[in-house]
């Protein structure tokens, strides 16, 4: 086991690579979403909020890479570690919740019933309020933590169980939001004027946000697990703070890709139909010309 005052090379490398793979993957999906939205329609608030969420992830990733580079050799390095690590956790929590709020804003655009709109606004408001206990669990140290003097907030402390439940409550409510937002499209889409197969496809595509529920369960487990919260452990588990917002961003880009595929399929069918019709007309039209023979070239050919 690594010493409590060191960060192992293996853990730091895994965390660094994993974090930047997640950030890069979500960036590709986000850019494709923005490009497709810009071509088919204008960008809206959900696109902007999703972009802000990704920028927060980018800054948080840079902070983690920085503390891995600096290390924790001196007391000042340890203070820098906790300052940047706490900031990174808060930024990824903001990114996660705001990415979910972006999807709620997307649903507001197509919701037709007042009850649905009120429910979506309830999710938006509470998703922001639940950030408060999450921030407290990140900033306030446990009274039993021997490294509390290095943390940004060193004038107060809470019991470890209280901190764990505050952070766990934030993550658990995020999982509830994932489930609710995944189920809501089936009630909204059924009232749209679409074919049944299109409604099913759109509902499934918009419900992919439920995949983030699995990452929420994992993050909640890591929040409540009892163990030695040394520097090595905190660096290694930081990757899971980036997993949920990344998956949320990717899941919100997939419905846009489905629309693109459907449009491409329809355009391809229309072009095929047009070519078939043109060929049929070209074959029939010369037959009405006196003296025309299919074996002879048409005039001006």
Using the predicted structure, report yes or no on whether residue 205 has a pLDDT greater than 70. Answer: no
**Rounded-to-integer distance, Cα 15 and Cα 8, Å:** 11
Using the predicted structure, report yes or no on whether residue 133 has a pLDDT greater than 80. Answer: yes
Burial class (CB in 10 A: 0-12, 13-18, 19+), 51: middle
Reduced to 3 DSSP states, what percent helix, strand and coil does the chain have, rounded to the nearest 5?
Answer: 80, 0, 20
pLDDT digits (tens, 9 = 90+) for 72-128: 778 888 888 889 988 999 999 999 999 999 989 988 988 888 988 999 999 999 999
The band of 54, judged by pLDDT with boundaries at 50, 70 and 90, is: very high
DSSP three-state, residue 197? helix
What token pair was written down for 240? 């899971």
What token pair was written down for 263? 């449009």
Using the predicted structure, report yes or no on whether residue 288 has a pLDDT greater than 60. Answer: no
Using the predicted structure, report yes or no on whether residue 299 has a pLDDT greater than 50. Answer: no
Please say whether the beta carbons of 50 and 32 come within 8 A.
no
pLDDT digits (tens, 9 = 90+) for 236-286: 778 888 988 998 898 888 777 766 666 655 555 445 445 554 455 455 555
Question: What integer is the mean pLDDT of 23-42?
Answer: 88
Question: What integer is the mean pLDDT of 227-236?
Answer: 71
Using the predicted structure, report yes or no on whether residue 294 has a pLDDT greater than 50. Answer: no
Mean confidence (pLDDT) of the chain: 77
Supply the pLDDT for residue 275. Answer: 57
Question: What integer is the mean pLDDT of 15-21?
Answer: 91
Using the predicted structure, report yes or no on whether residue 221 has a pLDDT greater than 70. Answer: no
**Rounded-to-integer distance, Cα 293 and Cα 283, Å:** 12
The interaxial angle of helices 114-129 and 131-139, nearest 10 deg, is 10
Please say whether the beta carbons of 213 and 175 come within 8 A.
yes
What token pair was written down for 58? 């980018």
Which domains are assigned to the chain?
9-255 (1.20.1070)
Q: For residues 270 and 196, which has the higher predicted lDDT (pLDDT)?
A: 196
pLDDT digits (tens, 9 = 90+) for 135-157: 888 888 888 877 888 888 878 88
Supply the pLDDT for residue 1. Answer: 40
Residue of 210, 234, 231 lying closest to 223 (CA atoms):
234
The band of 292, judged by pLDDT with boundaries at 50, 70 and 90, is: very low
**Rounded-to-integer distance, Cα 122 and Cα 161, Å:** 29
CB under 8 Å to 10, separation ≥6 — which residues?
none
In DSSP notation, 8-71 reads: -HHHHHHHHHHHHHHHHHHHHHHHHHHHHHHHHS---HHHHHHHHHHHHHHHHHHHHHHHHHH-
**Rounded-to-integer distance, Cα 26 and Cα 295, Å:** 60
CB under 8 Å to 82, separation ≥6 — which residues?
147, 150, 151, 152
Please say whether the beta carbons of 217 and 175 come within 8 A.
yes
Number of residues that this document lists for the chain: 301
The band of 60, judged by pLDDT with boundaries at 50, 70 and 90, is: very high
The band of 296, judged by pLDDT with boundaries at 50, 70 and 90, is: very low
């Amino acid at each position: 086991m690594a010493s409590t005052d060191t960060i192992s090379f293996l853990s730091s490398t895994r965390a660094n690579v994993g974090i930047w793979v997640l950030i890069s993957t979500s960036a590709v999906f986000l850019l494709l979403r923005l490009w497709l939205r810009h071509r088919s329609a204008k960008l809206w608030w959900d696109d902007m909020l999703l972009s802000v969420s990704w920028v927060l992830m980018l800054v948080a990733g840079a902070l983690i890479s920085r503390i891995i580079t600096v290390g924790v050799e001196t007391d000042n390095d340890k203070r820098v570690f906790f300052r940047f690590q706490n900031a990174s956790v808060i930024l990824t929590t903001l990114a996660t919740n705001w990415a979910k709020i972006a999807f709620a804003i997307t649903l507001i655009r197509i919701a037709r019933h007042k009850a649905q709109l009120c429910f979506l606004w309830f999710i938006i408001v509470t998703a922001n309020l639940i950030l408060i206990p999450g921030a407290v669990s990140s900033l306030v140290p446990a009274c039993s933590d021997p490294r509390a003097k290095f943390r940004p907030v060193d004038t107060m402390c809470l019991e470890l169980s209280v901190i764990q439940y505050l952070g766990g409550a934030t993550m658990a409510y995020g999982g509830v939001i994932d489930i609710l937002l995944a189920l809501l499209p089936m009630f909204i889409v059924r009232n749209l004027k679409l074919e049944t197969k299109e409604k099913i496809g759109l509902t499934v595509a918009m419900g992919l946000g439920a995949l983030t529920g699995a990452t929420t369960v994992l993050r909640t487990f890591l929040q409540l697990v009892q163990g030695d919260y040394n520097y090595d452990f905190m660096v290694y588990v930081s990757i899971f703070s980036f997993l949920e917002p990344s998956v949320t961003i990717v899941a919100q880009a997939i419905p846009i890709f489905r629309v693109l595929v459907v449009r491409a399929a329809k355009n391809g069918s229309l072009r095929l139909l047009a070519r078939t019709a043109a060929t049929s007309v070209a074959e029939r039209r010369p037959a009405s010309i006196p003296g025309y023979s299919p074996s002879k070239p048409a005039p001006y050919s």
